[in-house]
Amino acid sequence: MNVTENQNGSALRGRVRAVVHGVAYGDALGAPVEKLSAAQIRERYGRVTSLRTKWHRDGQSEAARQGRVRGNGIVTDDTAMTLALMRIYQRELRHLDAWDMGNGMVREITWERYWVPELQREAPLIERLFYPEKWIFQRHQLSGCDPRQGGVGNMVNCGAAMYIAPIGIVNAGDPTAAYDEAINFAMGHQQSYGLEAAGVLAAAIAQAFIPGTTVEDIVRVAHDHAHDGTRDAIAAIADAAENLRRKGADADEVTAEFQSCIAPFSAMGDDLVHKPEKAGRASHAYQPSRLFSIEELPLALGFCITTGGNFKKAVEDGINSGRDTDSIGVMAGSILGALHGETIIDAEDAALLDSANKMNLKHLSDQFTQAVIQIHSKDMARAEQTAMTRRRLNEQTQKAAE
């Protein structure tokens, strides 16, 4: 399948740039309000529509902020780990599996030093990561587990899905291959519905590269590849989103309806802050279940529907819905970046993302694209060889039958 050009003629390189930009934009837009409820965001900000937004924790002590800074275009671990996965592909120039999580990702987060924007210094990324992502190091290096069992025992969350976009790109045009590779790789990090979400998001992004694809096609492919609670949650949100779009519901009404729909599948709620009062009381919201779903992915798909696939509005509606705002923004941004290509990239926003984070997203994207092209070339050669072998086997079978 030819995925080098989409329906409006944008090249693969431009679409990869758009996915990476979509990740960084959604991340940076949502980061200042992460863990606030939709009501708290409305009360404090009205509506967040600009990267030049002040972090809601600005003014707190450095200890309270854990030494971090956010706002005004600064990205978080969502983007940092996406870039780490891109670098693994650039080194290996092949498809990945759980052993690459145990080797490549452990090296990336633990033993390499990069500029960490939130810390405003070069450091191993693990110094910034949340515990479910530190689990990668603990399981693979400290415990020496079978790489395929790396995710077992981890807190179930969206941590693998938030950086999985590069797998969708590497498998552009083949959602099933994207799903399979994402599961094979991310099982070294996540389990249960957290792992499922990674596979489904990769499939959605791979579908978005197919010429002529619509938002409806992407949601259908996501639903059809999903299992258990993730599949049911996507169906519930998609049905609600279609009804809300037809009636022209405003963003606040959409948020309220979506959070009502997702409640049976996610017990996250509005209180995301880990604090002493919660000690010893593990929430069932983060435990394995055949019935649950992370909420970020179904919500991101829902906002893609209600906004008619409008990149900026989908990301803005997503992050203004509250809770895990940056990851919702990342997922909506990566899907619609893949769908629309470079047209979604605002020059001023791109410049701010680069300057605030001391990176060149265009250059990093183009380097990754070269790796993707090489992997695609190997895939096509392998497919041709397989087809030739099967033709010969079929010919031999027919001759034997005669």
Consult the annotation and say whether 77 binds a ligand: yes
Question: Taking residues 9-35, what's their average pLDDT?
Answer: 93
Question: Taking residues 382-395, what's their average pLDDT?
Answer: 96
Question: What per-residue confidence (pLDDT) applies to 275?
Answer: 61
Question: What per-residue confidence (pLDDT) applies to 6?
Answer: 40
CATH number of 12-64+72-95+156-272+284-401: 1.10.4080.10
> Which of 80, 379, 46 has the alpha carbon at shortest distance from 206?
379
Question: What per-residue confidence (pLDDT) applies to 126?
Answer: 98
pLDDT per residue as tens digits for the range 238-257: 999 999 999 999 999 999 99
Consult the annotation and say whether 97 binds a ligand: no
Tokens of 165: 């976009």
Question: What per-residue confidence (pLDDT) applies to 276?
Answer: 72
- Calculate what percentage of the chain has a pLDDT beyond 70: 94
Consult the annotation and say whether 143 binds a ligand: no
Consult the annotation and say whether 37 binds a ligand: no
Consult the annotation and say whether 324 binds a ligand: yes
Q: How far apart are CA 398 and CA 160, in angstroms?
A: 47
The per-residue b/e assignment along 36-58, b for 16 or more CB within 10 angstroms, e otherwise, is bbbeebbeebeebeebebebbbe
> Which of 156, 149, 198, 130 has the alpha carbon at shortest distance from 284?
156
Per DSSP, the three-state class of 321 is coil
pLDDT per residue as tens digits for the range 74-130: 999 999 999 999 999 999 999 999 999 999 999 999 999 999 999 999 999 999 999
Question: Taking residues 215-226, what's their average pLDDT?
Answer: 98
Residue 236 has pLDDT above 50, yes or no: yes
> Which of 194, 391, 381, 399 has the alpha carbon at shortest distance from 287?
194
Question: What per-residue confidence (pLDDT) applies to 267?
Answer: 81
Tokens of 383: 């497919």
Residue pair 85/105 in contact (Cβ under 8 Å)? The answer is: yes
Residue 13 has pLDDT above 90, yes or no: yes
Mean pLDDT of the chain: 94
Amino acid at 39: A
What is the sign, positive or negative, of the torsion defined by CA atoms of 105, 111, 114, 116?
positive
Question: What per-residue confidence (pLDDT) applies to 11?
Answer: 87
Q: Which helix (H) or strand (E) holds 9?
A: none
What is the sign, positive or negative, of the torsion defined by CA atoms of 256, 156, 19, 50?
positive
pLDDT per residue as tens digits for the range 343-387: 999 999 999 999 999 999 999 999 999 999 999 999 999 999 999
User: 35-44, 172-181, 261-270: which range is least confident on average?
Assistant: 261-270
Residue 178 has pLDDT above 80, yes or no: yes
Question: What per-residue confidence (pLDDT) applies to 7?
Answer: 34
